[in-house]
Structure 1
Amino acid sequence: MSTFSIFLVLITIVCFLLIVVIMVQNPKGGGLSSTLGGSQMLGGVQKTTDFLDKSTWTLATVLVVLILLSSLSFDGALSDTDSKIIEKSETAAPATNAAPVQNVPAAEPAKQ
């Protein structure tokens, strides 16, 4: 498995986690903390909105870093699977079936 494939798997996992964290948040600011009680502790975190906000920014930063690192590790191995049609059209000789064009003078109009 190439490093680029590993980065693709990691990017997919981070995207999934980012979607989950964003979906848990309430757009009006209540979010998970309003349903569980704002001052209750949840897993050692006193304010869940702060935890969700920090995790969103952290996952977004990790996603950007992974994308940049994956672009550096991309070695162009996927370009070997280019279309064979394009290769054939570039190497094919031009068609010689067409008749050569001759310049024929225009006929004079008939006098009446």
Structure 2
Amino acid sequence: MGQFTIFLALIVVVAFLLIVVIMVQNPKGGGLSSSFGGGGTQQLGGVKKTTDFLDKSTWTLSTILVVLILLSSLAIPRAGIAQEDSTALDPDALETPAPAAVTPNTNDTAKPADSTK
């Protein structure tokens, strides 16, 4: 398995986790954090802690996703680079062919342009 395939699998897993974390949140303050609330002042986890956890996990997963994407660009196999390297190592590939010999035109008579059109 190549490096790019590993990066691709990690990117897919992190993107899926990021989608799950974002879908759990409610833009109006509800979501998973509202299910732990209820109105009582004595809460085991607390709404604030759940919201902080979801917020931190969103930022962490998004940062990991960006880093993985940037690192995967280094692992992409490039055919053009390998081809350039092979010509640099092959001294016969660097030789340029001689230009074709130019034969002079022995027919010096030029035809007049057709002016009837």
**TM-score over 0.5 for the alignment?**
yes
Structure 2 unaligned spans of 5+: 80-110
Report what 2:15 is aligned to.
Answer: 15
Q: Structure 1 residue 75 and structure 2 residue 84: aligned?
A: no
CA RMSD, 1 decimal: 3.0
Report what 1:54 is aligned to.
Answer: 56
* SS of alignment partner, residue 32 of structure 2: helix
Report what 2:44 is aligned to.
Answer: 40
Normalized against structure 2, the TM-score is what? Answer: 0.61
Q: Deviations over 1:23-80 (max 9, x none)?
A: 00010122211122273328xx971110000000000000001001100111225xxx
After TM superposition, give the deviation of residue 103 of structure 1 in Å: 6.7
Pairing 1:76-91 to 2, within 5 Å after superposition: 76=78
Percent of aligned positions that are identical: 67
Structure 1 unaligned spans of 5+: 78-101
Q: Which residue identity lines up with residue 41 of structure 1 in the other structure?
A: G
Q: Which residue identity lines up with residue 114 of structure 2 in the other structure?
A: P
Q: Which residue identity lines up with residue 14 of structure 1 in the other structure?
A: V
Segments of 4+ moved more than 6 angstroms: none
Normalized against structure 1, the TM-score is what? Answer: 0.64
Partner Cα separation in structure 2 for residue 10 and residue 41 of structure 1? 31
Q: Which of 10-19 and 22-31 deviates more?
A: 22-31
Partner Cα separation in structure 2 for residue 22 and residue 30 of structure 1? 12
2:33/2:51 contact within 8 Å kept: yes
Report what 1:89 is aligned to.
Answer: none
Largest Rg, 1 or 2: 2
Q: Which residue identity lines up with residue 55 of structure 1 in the other structure?
A: S
After TM superposition, give the deviation of residue 106 of structure 1 in Å: 2.4
* SS of alignment partner, residue 19 of structure 2: helix
Q: Which residue identity lines up with residue 107 of structure 1 in the other structure?
A: T
